[in-house]
Structure 1
Amino acid sequence: MPEARRALLRVAAALATRDAARVRAALESAHGVAEGNHVDEVLLQSHLFVGFPDALNALAVWREVSGSQAPAALGEDPRVWEARGEQVCETVYGGNYQKLRENVRGLHPEFDGWMVNGGYGRVLGRPGLDLRTRELCIAALLAVWNAPRQLHSHLRGSLNAGASVAEVDEAVEIACAEMSAGRADEVRALWAGIRDRAR
């Protein structure tokens, strides 16, 4: 895996710790290694998982560390988000896409639209970072965040988005460096079950 992608994975995993010093250290390590707009994208997408406050704080640190100005807004027409969201979500979930939509609608019908249009269309389908890298970063973040159900989906989603088993192995190990030994064992066991079925 290229060092630039490793740096992005370390940023994603650090975000999930909610530890300001670890986030700053990961961003400092990413500076000059990863492309600045790629770091921006990892930070932007993190709000779907860690929330706006942590994403905003991380963006502020990144502006300080990198010395970069905020990029221009894409100015996308929101009407493109639904179709793009459906396509991206289906890529990530593969054969489980329709079941996912039904399950989420069963929890709350509004959430289904927010997930597809907002999560996958507005955020994860954005240009600027390939879906494989996005999914690997999400998996690293969710592993540290301790969200096993969602982690399971995004480990599989990483493969569906084109990541190799070796790349997911590396993402898991980067995440495991940010957690206790016991939690790391749980994450590795979860991934091992998915990896064995993928071969």
Structure 2
Amino acid sequence: MPEARRALLRVAAALATRDAGRVRAALADAAGVARTEEVDEVLLQSHLFVGFPDALNALAVWREVSGAAAPAALGEDPPGWEARGERVCATVYGANYAKLRENVSGLHPEFDGWMVTGGYGRVIGRPGLDLRTRELCIAALLAVWNVPRQLHSHLRGSLNAGASVAEVDEAVEIACAELSEERAAAVRGLWGEIRERGGVNGSA
């Protein structure tokens, strides 16, 4: 995996620790190897998982350590977010896409729309960072955030988005570096179950 992508994964995992020192260190490391706009995208998408306050704080640190000014707004057209969200979400969830929509609608129909249009259309489907890298970053963040159900989906989603097994292995290990031995073992165990049940092997 290129060092720039590893740096993005370390930023994502550090964000989930909610430790300001770890976030600053990961961002400082990323400043030397990753493209500014790609770090921006990792920080922007993190608000879907860690919330606006932590994302805003991380963006402030990133502006400081990178020395880069905020980019111009993309000027995107919101009416296009729904169709883009459906495409991106279907890619990530693959054969489980219809079931996901059904399940989320059963929890609350508004949340289904927010997930697809807001989450996948407005944010995860943005240009500036490829979907494979986005999903690997999300998986690393969720592994540290300790949400096994969502982690399962995005480990599978990384593969569906084109990541190799070796790349997911590396994302898992980057996340595990932020965890206790017990928590790291649980994350590795979950990924191992996915590989075994899905017939995934090291050559994929």
- Give the TM-score of the pair, scaled to structure 2: 0.97
Structure 2 unaligned regions, length at least 5: none
Aligned residue pairs: how many? 199
Match of 1:20 in 2: 20
> Structure 1 stretches of 5 or more lacking a match?
none
Amino acid at match of 1:131: L
1:108: which partner in 2?
108
Partner of 1:146: 146
Which residue is 2:57 aligned to? 57
Question: TM-score if structure 1 supplies the norm length?
Answer: 0.99
Q: Secondary structure at the match of 1:128?
A: coil
Distance 1:91 1:32 in 2: 32
- In the alignment, the residues of structure 2 paired with residue 173 and residue 134 of structure 1 have an alpha-carbon distance, to the nearest angstrom, of 17
Q: How far does residue 23 in structure 1 lie from its aligned partner after superposition?
A: 0.1
> Structure 2: how far apart are the matches of 1:6 and 1:192?
21
- Distance apart, 1:32 and its partner CA: 1.9
Question: Residues of 2 paired with 1:77 and 1:132: CA distance?
Answer: 24
Report what 2:159 is aligned to: 159
Is 155-164 or 187-196 further displaced after alignment?
Answer: 187-196
Matched letter for residue 89 of structure 1: C
Superposition pairs of residues 15-164 of structure 1, within 5 angstroms: 15-164=15-164
Tell me by how many angstroms 1:53 deviates. Answer: 0.1
Indicate the SS of the match to 1:61.
helix
Identity of aligned residues (%): 84
Tell me the amino acid that sits aligned with residue 37 of structure 2.
Answer: N
Structure 1: which amino acid aligns with 2:118? Answer: G
3-state secondary structure, aligned to 1:73: coil
1:172 maps to 2:172: yes
Query: Distance between the aligned counterparts of 1:60 and 1:66, measured in 2?
Result: 10
Alignment-mate amino acid for residue 2 of structure 1? P
Q: Distance in 1 between matches of 2:32 and 2:82?
A: 35
Cα RMSD (Å)? 0.5
Cα distance in structure 2, aligned partners of 1:195 and 1:2:
23
